Amino acid sequence: MSEQWHDEAMEWPNRRIKTTTGVLMDFVVDEVTTPAGGTMIRNYLDHPNSVGIIAYDDQGRVAVERQYRHPVRRKLVEAPAGLCDHSGEDTLEAARRELAEELGLAARQWSILADAYATPGCSTQACRVFLARGLSPVPRPAGFTLDDEEADMSIGWAQVDDLVDEIYAGTIMNPTIIIGVLALKTALLTGGLEQLREI
């Protein structure tokens, strides 16, 4: 039997040295004790979890957004995505909310394409990427308004193969859409759409 390669939960002994509270996340400094008995200092963001949605229509297209991201000083091609509003929020509920808020869409069928840590060396943020199918228009949730970067966001549709080409060309760099589109393309090539994890 071949070796099983999968992540495992683990926590080395540590003590919090400092926490700096931010707007959406906190910056923390921990002293961590290694299995060999040494210590190391690690800085990272204590960040809320998030969701991403690959909204896939009956014409083989994926909904895309173009949104300004200040840290990288670029307007990135992205999938609809957002933070879980509180630590225990169900990821599917968060995904439904984000799809309605950003695109004015609802989906009849939801599957899980992938789970990923955004940047595990410097952030606690985990992201669940969903596949949404059976799309239909819905009103944006009551009281929701597009603010800040979202107010300048443009929305469109792209063929899966065109997005794959852009990913391999290095012209799409947002990790959520990269993970989601490549997982979708793999499922389409292998006939695995119906084998995705259902909700």
Residue that has been written with the tokens 């999968």 in this structure: 6
The one catalytic residue among 11, 31, 149, 150: 150
Looking at residue 68, its pLDDT comes to: 93
Looking at residue 3, its pLDDT comes to: 81
User: Residues in the chain, how many?
Assistant: 199
Q: Whole-angstrom Cα distance, residue 153 to residue 102?
A: 9
Which residues have a Cβ under 8 Å from the Cβ of 190 and sit 6 or more positions away?
A: none
pLDDT category of residue 85 using cuts at 50, 70 and 90: confident
Q: Whole-angstrom Cα distance, residue 102 to residue 23?
A: 21
39-51 confidence digits (pLDDT tens) = 999 999 999 999 9
Question: Does residue 1 carry a pLDDT above 70?
Answer: no
pLDDT category of residue 24 using cuts at 50, 70 and 90: confident
Which residues have a Cβ under 8 Å from the Cβ of 189 and sit 6 or more positions away?
A: none
Q: What is the DSSP letter of 191?
A: T
* Token pair for 158: 């792209």
Looking at residue 70, its pLDDT comes to: 93
163-193 confidence digits (pLDDT tens) = 999 999 999 999 999 999 999 999 999 998 9
Domains of the chain (ranges; CATH) run: 14-46 (no CATH), 50-192 (3.90.79.10)
Mean pLDDT of the region 75-103: 92
* Token pair for 81: 């995505």
Is 150 among the catalytic positions?
yes
Count of CB atoms situated within 10 Å of the CB of 144: 13
Mean pLDDT of the region 15-37: 95
From the number of C-beta atoms within 10 Å of its C-beta (0-12, 13-18, 19+), residue 68 rates as middle
